[in-house]
Chain A
Amino acid sequence: AQKITQTQPGMFVQEKEAVTLDCTYDTSDQSYGLFWYKQPSSGEMIFLIYQGSYDEQNATEGRYSLNFQKARKSANLVISASQLGDSAMYFCASQSPGNKLTFGGGTRVLVKP
């Protein structure tokens, strides 16, 4: 079974600053995927970034980067140059070989102008 832990229930960040959202995972699988999703107040789940367990380079997608530390089993999301539209819930998830996603409890980010 896989488990995802997000220890920050909520955080504030100043507009234009960077923010790091923590995620640790627990899995016995050799091959797995790690994802981050954004859920704005409107409710939809928006895919942000993906990291495969065998990828040696940290994934980046625009202002999002994933700080993957395999030995520590962590997959932190870094959002650079925060914008007001980044205010949302952020979920870290792992994908087991069975392909289902296991989600963490989420972190609510509020960007202050």
Chain B
Amino acid sequence: DSGVTQTPKHLITATGQRVTLRCSPRSGDLSVYWYQQSLDQGLQFLIQYYNGEERAKGNILERFSAQQFPDLHSELNLSSLELGDSALYFCASSNRDDYEQYFGPGTRLTVT
């Protein structure tokens, strides 16, 4: 158990809908990262938050947004969902800039 929790574990929704994925980092970790793992794109970095502030952005679509709250949990919002958004979404956290990131169990999103 990495100490990072993600909910829900599975999510099935229809095209055009909006969903929110939630992540709680390990105790004491200030950085939260979101990654997407899909069959065609592999594992890709989406966005990073550090202590409530956006720190880095990767290949995140404009339909997607994220935030980190004062209690350090983070949410990834995906809107106007398309079939191609079906993927495993991981949250990871770290307590130092140059140290390992611990991954949550992931949320498997299926868009039908």
Contacts and interface: CB of A to CB of B under 8 A. Distances in A.
Q: Is the interface of B mostly helix, strand, loop or mixed?
A: strand
Given A99-B31, A100-B58, A43 B105 contact: yes
A101 B42 contact: no
A98 interface: yes
Interface string B14-28: 000000000000000
Contacts of A31: 98
Interface of B: 2, 31, 33, 35, 42-45, 48, 55-56, 58, 88, 90, 92, 94, 97-106, 108
A71 B94 CA distance: 29
Contacts of B44: 103
Contacts of B92: 45, 101
Interface of A: 31, 33, 35, 37, 43-47, 50, 52, 91, 93, 95, 98-103, 105-106
Nearest to A32: B98
Nearest to A99: B97
B108 A43 contact: yes
A100 B56 contact: yes
B98 A100 contact: no
A3 B19 CA distance: 31
A47 B99 CA distance: 11
B88 A105 contact: no
